[in-house]
Structure 1
Amino acid sequence: MKRSILSLAIAAALLPVALPASAAPLSGIAKQWTFSHNLAGGQTSEIVSFDSSTNSLWVAGVAGVDVLNAASGSLIQHIDTTSFGSINSVAIHNGIAAFAIESAVRTDPGVVKFYDTGTRALAAGVNSITVGALPDMLTFTPGGGKLLVANEATPTVYGARIGTTVPRNYGAAANDPAGSVSIIDMASRSVTATATLAGVATSGANIRSNTGMDYEPEYISVNAAGTKAYVTLQEANAVGVLDLGSNSFTKIVGLGAKDFSAAGNQIDPLNNGAVSFISPNVKGLYMPDGIAAYQAGGQTFLVMANEGDFREDDADRSTAGSLGAVAPLNNLRVLNTDSSAGNLYAAGARSFSIRDENGNLVFDSGDKLDKEAAARGIYDDGRSRDKGVEPEGVALKEIGGRQYAFIGLERTTKGAVAIYDITDPANASFIDMIVTDGDLAPEGLQTYTMGGTHYLAVANEVSGTTTVYSLAPVPEPETYALLLAGLGMIGFMARRRRA
């Protein structure tokens, strides 16, 4: 009995001091397994989705989908989709896996294919639906009644550029279909609406386009009620708000610009083999890629990974030196239609942001992501003049009563995912950065719960690997109090027994 009491007393002494709830981090992040996909055969790892009915992970990557055992990481089956086209995304709900597949000619309509997650074969009934050009991402509404498909509709041919104005004008040779969102009713498995962006009212600042042909939907997140979807229009530096009652866009919100000369917003603008952060007279357009919605205090907030992206035509970017900038800014890549001498705009904010549902900025991580990567020796100076660590994707998870954001960093020298506590949107706090040897360029992230344990799955595009981590919360302060009280009671009973 004395030994037991001593052990408990030592355990009590080693318990961390009860922290306020706002400071409680995750207590354990443990790598469970890594699966290497068949890069030589054209299969990589881009988007990952969890199926709770079979405890499997479905990983989309160009040539098809690898279905993995979520517990062991072993390959269950490879589903080849090359006969349909190149696969861009996968989403799962209620035993149905939806694949977004672009046409061989990417400006032609793409398709969505439905698979049964139990049989891993094409689903019974309607299993192929034509959607817009270049379906790049898809997601189910919370109840699974609708499937939303982001048709990016990137041009294959731009034609001769006419002038340097925004919106962008191209000659007759341009092949640029309109970006859209296909809305699929899952009961009938049919497209009930195609939401386009031409003529939609705009607000906010620094929108880089105002024509439907120029908007390119990138990523979609739906609010908890399933009434609104938020669609990143990355190259336009905007978010479209999609009403799921009317199945139409109600507004386009410009996201403005970030001032890199402000305190806490430093960047390294120069590829020179050394990491040196400065506060230059440069602004960055946020241009988010991934987006995720969550609830806090009864309101909807949007978490955005501010990667930045130039349009694929080379005329969209130039070096700051061509506009008269001198070292160390002369080699910085800037947006040529937005920049002028002494007024430089870069692509991306090198951060993640939290905004309210109206697009108002609530929180920005500033220069924290770049500097944390540098502190860990994984900052890639070869990307300094472009967009730094390039936050790409975001996944959210509530664990132990706290809301966490996981931000994938596409351009580091090792696989990296930043973790923030975003329970209080205005006071988000950095928790940690997961760094994994052998992984490179996280593209898609998925959080899920299996067998009572929380997990994070990361699809790494360049390394062609998928890695899974378990996530454990710190016990709530009340748990510590109960444990300590219990230890005190044990001591009291022991003293009574000795008496």
Structure 2
Amino acid sequence: MKKTLISTTIALALMTAITGCTAKQNDTSVARSQQQVPSPLTVTMLARYESGQYGVSAAEILDYHPPSNSIFVVNAESGQVDILDASIIGSAQAAKDPLTLNNLTKRATLNLASDLQLPRLGSVNSVAIFDNLLAVAIERGDGKGNPVQGRGFIGFYTLDNAGKATYLQAVEVGYLPDNVVFTHDGNQVVVANEGEPNDAYTVDPEGSVSIININNNVPEQQATNINFNDFNIQSARHHELPKGVKINGPKSTVSQDFEPEYIAISHDSSQAFVSLQENNAIAVINLKLQRVERIIDLGSKDYGLAKNAFDASDKDGKVNIQTYPGVYGLYQPDTIASYSIDGADFIVTANEGDARDYAGFSEETRAGKLTLDKNHPQFDAIQDKTQLGRLKVTTSIGDTDNDGDIDKIYSYGSRSFSIWDAQGKQVFDSGNDFERITADRLGINFNNHNSKNKGDNRSDDKGPEPEALALGGIDGRQYAFIGLERTSGFMIYDITEPQHAYFVDYIVNRDFAPTFEVEDGVVTKGDPSVVGDLGPEGMKFIAADKSPNGKPLLLVANEVSGTTVAYQLQK
């Protein structure tokens, strides 16, 4: 594949049938693409930073400070935050060689361990900026040898117009702070504390949401921690817990089992929508009353429907997108975001999926190992590795009649993104767009891995694996940008009308030809520096009035390639 940004808008208008898809399905896809992409965005790479670190989460979550033209990027494993100089974007032209562009420079690095002066600090997980205040989430061990089971901290810094960060203070929050955001008014910092168990599953801290009040741009010394204890069995609000919410940790209470992952804030800063990924749910937090309003069960996706057809095998050697009645996907969103229309909030989710897979407990298995009800429509297909036999599924749910065998097969994630109203009703799902579009554009290189070039390699797992997500308004239209963690690149959808969202483009800066492999942070084959951008983990939309060049930008942090990229977006 040539060294260039790949845009699929034109290619999709010329789609032809691919192996495993019926002609009828492809005709529908062509018509939809031609009708719904009247004026696609022009996406241009302007700037890029290469950390030179591969497979060690050297670029994860990021945010932007307009006064200093600085990009703050989480370098997770180092426990640091890299500060990149984005001023070059103001005069940058389209990249001639996007795969190897390296024109962003690093201004400085924040070392949280040095600033906080606390033992047992671990990875930095998240950053957020409001005006000249920077908040950074860092995890901590518990003092008993468990690396992330202690209470974490939010480190606060003040930023000047040159991008210099001055340490202010640290505020203790819950166990394993995984995401930190500011409310839109800047009056509160909200933190999702994942509370992940240790590998032996002998210690399982409670998941929680922390709120830190901000007064005159100065954070309070203590956080308010909101837990989910009231939803435990025999507690006051257990009856409010929807039956479909997935609770399966061994000997864990509901509050221990809940693992808050990511946060979106309502347009009026009164609510926080918190993804509970492993639980396939969203918690709604009242930020004024500082209590849990409700828990939303996201349900499942029916892979028996033509619009949801997918490829379930990494051993078939081809694109094989088909329906499987009796098989379902749990949405299990990672990143979530929100936007409003006429005062009504809508929640957008990147439905990555995640299993509990630890040495002390694992729910994950292959479909071929399930004890399936003999009347299940896929009883024969699970015996075939080129069909359903390899699909990774959960053993925790699916026995609907309690007779010891599985009646419904549930896999992780839905290989899509969704839009929900504030009450949790789904108003849109992208169906099988991601697999269909990448298969049409990339052929057998679809569902690729992000640490080696091997097409169809992730079909048995979570496919393209949507994870990163950002929203932004351009010329009166609202767009969603969804990063595909495994295949890499990002999808663009127009979501101006939530019920009628539609695909706009797919952008990927990756060469699928070279042989390379990264294992546990070590390059074992080839040269990943020539491959491009791998594993988008975090995204940030920059509006035109905040941008260095006066035009909307999308910043993307790629954790496997350790690269940070700035794209210009223009109609």
Q: Which moved more, 1:92-101 or 1:113-122?
A: 113-122
Q: Check conservation: 2:264, 2:336, Cα contact below 8 A.
A: yes
Aligned to 2:570: 472
**Alpha-carbon shift at residue 122 of structure 1 (Å):** 5.7
Task: Give the TM-score of the pair, scaled to structure 1.
Answer: 0.84
Aligned to 2:85: 69
Confirm or deny: 8 A CA contact 1:206 1:285 kept in the other structure: no
Alignment of 1:321 with 2:368, yes or no, is yes
- Displacement of 1:342 after TM fit? 4.1
Give a deviation string over 1:18-49, Cα, whole Å, max 9, x none: xxx98653431100121011417966000110
> Separation in 2 of the partners of 1:98 and 1:299?
28
- 2:206 pairs, out of 162, 178, 181, with 178
CA distance in 2, matches of 1:240, 1:289: 13
Match of 1:86 in 2: 123
Displacement of 1:296 in angstroms is 1.8
Distance 1:25 1:290, change over 3 A: farther
Q: Give, in angstroms, the shift of residue 52 of structure 1.
A: 1.4
Task: Find the aligned partners of 2:243 and 2:477 in 1 and give their Cα distance.
Answer: 33
Which of structures 1 and 2 has the larger relative contact order (alpha carbons within 8 angstroms, sep 6+)?
A: 2
Q: 1:24 to 1:224 in 2, by over 3 A?
A: farther
Tell me if the contact between 1:115 and 1:121 (Cα under 8 Å) persists in the aligned partners. no
- The answer for the alignment partner of 2:435 in structure 1 is 370
Question: How far apart, in 2, do the equivalents of 1:27 and 1:178 lie?
Answer: 43
| 40 and 399 in structure 1: CA distance in 2 versus 1, 3 angstrom threshold | closer
For 2:193, the equivalent position in structure 1 comes to 151
In the other structure, the counterpart of 2:255 is 212
Q: Which amino acid aligns with 2:209?
A: V
Q: Cα distance 1:40–1:444, how it changes in 2: closer, same or farther (>3 A)?
A: closer
**Is the CA contact 2:64–2:70 (under 8 Å) kept in the aligned structure 1?**
yes
Superposed, which structure 2 residues align to 1:88-487 within 5 Å? 88-104=125-141, 105-118=147-160, 123=166, 126-159=168-201, 174-187=202-215, 188-200=219-231, 201=237, 202=240, 206-209=244-247, 211-272=254-315, 273-281=317-325, 282-313=327-358, 315-323=362-370, 324=372, 325-327=382-384, 328-339=387-398, 340-377=405-442, 378-379=445-446, 380=448, 381-412=456-487, 415-437=488-510, 438-449=532-543, 450=547, 451-473=549-571
1:207 partner amino acid: V
Distance 1:441 1:434, change over 3 A: same
| Alpha-carbon spacing, 1:40–1:326, altered in 2? closer, same or farther (3 Å) | closer
CA distance in 2, matches of 1:472, 1:205: 45
Are 2:206 and 2:257, in contact at CA under 8 Å, matched by a contact in 1? yes
Q: How many residues align?
A: 436
**Structure 2 SS opposite 1:212:** helix
One-letter code aligned to 2:198: T
Distance 2:156 2:357 in 1: 31
Q: In the aligned structure 2, how far is the partner of 1:25 from the partner of 1:39? A: 38
Alpha-carbon distance in structure 1 between the residues aligned to 2:312 and 2:171 = 45
Counterpart of 1:206, as a letter, is G
- For residues 123-153 of structure 1, the C-alpha deviation after alignment (integer angstroms, 9 at most, x for no partner) is 46x5111111111110000011100011101
Contact 2:416 2:430 in 1 (8 A): yes
Deviations 1:253-283 (A, max 9, x none): 1000100111210111111232211101210
Which has the higher Rg, Structure 1 or Structure 2? Answer: 1
- Determine if contact 2:52/2:562 at 8 Å carries over to the other structure: yes
Q: Which amino acid aligns with 1:67?
A: I
Q: What TM-score, normalized by structure 2, do the two folds share?
A: 0.73
Is there any run of 5+ residues in structure 2 with no aligned partner, and where? Answer: 1-34, 89-103, 115-120, 142-146, 232-236, 248-252, 373-381, 399-404, 449-455, 511-531
User: What stretches of structure 1 of length at least 5 have no aligned partner?
Assistant: 1-20, 160-173, 474-499
SS in 1 for 2:462: coil
Q: Is the 8 A contact 1:37 1:43 kept in 2?
A: no
- With 103-112 and 257-266 compared, the bigger mean Cα shift is at 103-112
Shift of the 191–93 alpha-carbon distance from structure 1 to 2, 3 Å rule, reads same
Shift of 1:360: 0.3
Displacement of 1:229 in angstroms is 0.5
Q: Which amino acid aligns with 2:328?
A: K
Q: Is the 8 A contact 1:318 1:333 kept in 2?
A: yes
Aligned-pair CA distance for 1:204? 5.0
State the Cα distance separating 1:69 from its structure 2 match.
Answer: 1.5
CA shift for structure 1 position 117: 2.3
Could you tell me how far 1:80 is from its partner in structure 2?
A: 2.7
Deviations 1:52-81 (A, max 9, x none): 121111000211111112233221112233
Q: 1:399 to 1:24 in 2, by over 3 A?
A: farther
3-state SS of 1:206 partner: coil
